[in-house]
Amino acid sequence: MDRVEQLSRVGQTSIRGIPGGLIAPTVNRMGASIVIDQLLQLAMDGHTYHAQQGNAATLVDFVETVYDEDQPQFALRVPAGTVVIPLSVKLDFQDQAGTDTHVILGMSQNDIGDGTSTSLTITPMRTDGPYATRCFANSLYTGDATAATNLIEVDRVIDPFVATAAGRLPGYRWDIKSATVIPILVGPATLQLWTIATGDGAEGFGQYVWAEIDKTALETP
């Protein structure tokens, strides 16, 4: 039995490694298996990325007072051949003047395009940026995007805010480590976010972090 066949029987695969994408299992001196968190490994390998809305003290006005499926406040567009694993979504609201603030996180099975929106800068989370992103991030659609295909809600919160509540941290948090539903976006696909407040939309900041891998990493050899 050669080395590749031995590794194949172990069943461990990697985005990088020996030919065929197979890697040897790792053990410590006592023979116990060492398992590296896959998301940590993706970050270490340079496959994680970041986009943000607003910066420093410059707020983003999320504007919307009614839900419009074709005009999200954020979209991460995934091209064919690429897979995105969302890692975290974070909104911090500095000003809210509506009655309730709704935040909806959803995904669709198509690329919704630019519509009329602002392109966001995507930054590698590994500072030397060994890989360029394949995705596109867009903010604050004011003209309709392409209609979403098979749109589903991944998460939703309704914040009946009290602006003067002591110790309150207004905003929204989604994290893969605590999520009960984990979206895997196989391109073409789009991760979308809406935030709506009746009366007047919230103002604040958005931060989005995700991992990108090649679709072939999910396919059975």
CB count, 10 Å around CB of 85?
A: 18
Residue 111 has pLDDT above 60, yes or no: yes
Per the model's pLDDT, the better-predicted residue between 201 and 66 turns out to be 66
**Model confidence band, residue 162 (pLDDT cutoffs 50, 70, 90):** low
Q: Do 75 and 112 touch, CB atoms closer than 8 A?
A: yes
Q: What is the CATH number of domain 47-218?
A: 2.60.120
Percent of the chain with pLDDT over 70: 82
pLDDT at 14: 44
Token pair of 127 as six digits:
């500072």
**Model confidence band, residue 7 (pLDDT cutoffs 50, 70, 90):** very low
Nearest alpha-carbon partner for 105 in 155, 146, 64, 150: 155
Lowest mean pLDDT among 6-20, 33-47, 124-138: 6-20
Domain borders along the chain are: 3-35, 47-218
Average pLDDT over residues 83-112: 90
Residue 39 has pLDDT above 70, yes or no: yes
What does pTM read for this prediction? 0.82
Average pLDDT over residues 120-149: 97
pLDDT at 167: 52
Per the model's pLDDT, the better-predicted residue between 220 and 133 turns out to be 133
**Model confidence band, residue 18 (pLDDT cutoffs 50, 70, 90):** very low
